[in-house]
Amino acid sequence: MSIGNTLLGLLESGPRHGYDLKRLFDERFGHDRPLHYGQVYSTMSRLLRNGLVEVDGVETGSGPERKRYAITDAGITDVGRWLATPERPEPYLQSTLYAKVVLALLTGRDAAGLLDVQRSEHLRLMRELTRRKTEGDLADRLVCDHALFHLEADIRWLELAADRLDQLAGEVA
C-alpha cells in the first residue's frame, strides 16, 4: 500500500495532526500492521517538501511541537491521479508452491502429499479469517474477504495441480 497517497487521501476531509492521521490510518487500514510514528512523520516531511501538503498551524506546549497538516491543490490532484490509475496486478509467476511441486517430482518425493498439507494450511488460515470476519464489522469483512478470495484462488490452483500431477511428472522427468 502507498502510505503517502493514503495519508494524503485522509487529509482531504480536513487538516489533521500527525498523531490523528496515524490513528485514522490504523483504524481504517492498519489491522495487522499499524504505522510507526516515524513512518508518519517522515512521510509528511516528504509530502511537505513536494508541495502536496502544507503546515496549517503549530501547537506549542510543554511537549514537542505538534504540526497540523492540510492538503494542497497539488495534493488533491495527486490523490485523484492515484485513485484513477489501476494497480498493477500481481503476476504470481514466481510461485514457491510451483517450485516445490516440481522439485518434489524431480527428487521422487510425495508431491501429492505436499499439495494436501499446503491446502490444509491454507484452510487453517481461512478459518481464522472467517472467524474474524464473522465477529467483525463491515470493514473487517471486506478486508478478510479480500484475503479469503486470494487464499481460495491458491487452493483452486493446488487442486488443479493435484489433478495434473501425473502429467507434470511425465514432463519434468
Binding interface with other proteins (CB under 8 A): 113, 116-117, 120, 122-123, 126-127, 129-130, 134, 148, 151-152, 155, 159, 163
Q: Residue 151 or 169: which CB sits closer to other proteins?
A: 151
Cβ neighbors of 159 (< 8 A, separation 6 or more) are 115, 119
User: By C-beta, is 34 or 113 nearer to other proteins?
Assistant: 113
| Pairwise CA distance, residues 115 & 105, whole Å | 12
Shortest distance (Å) from residue 119 CB to other proteins:
8
DSSP classification of residue 90 = P
Q: Containing H/E element for 113?
A: helix 111-135
Which residue's entry shows cell 502510505? 3
Which amino acid would we find at residue 56? D
Q: Tell the smallest beta-carbon distance from residue 107 to other proteins (Å).
A: 19
At 63, phi and psi to the nearest 5? Answer: -90, -160
Closest distance of CB 110 from other proteins, Å: 10
> Least distance to other proteins from the beta carbon of 85, Å?
28
CB of 144 to other proteins, least distance (A): 10
Nearer to other proteins, 109 or 127 (CB): 127
Cβ proximity to other proteins, 35 vs 129, nearer residue: 129
Number of H helices, E strands in the chain: 8, 3
Which of residues 68 and 141 has its CB atom nearest to other proteins in the complex? 141
Round to whole Å and give the CA distance between 165 and 102: 9
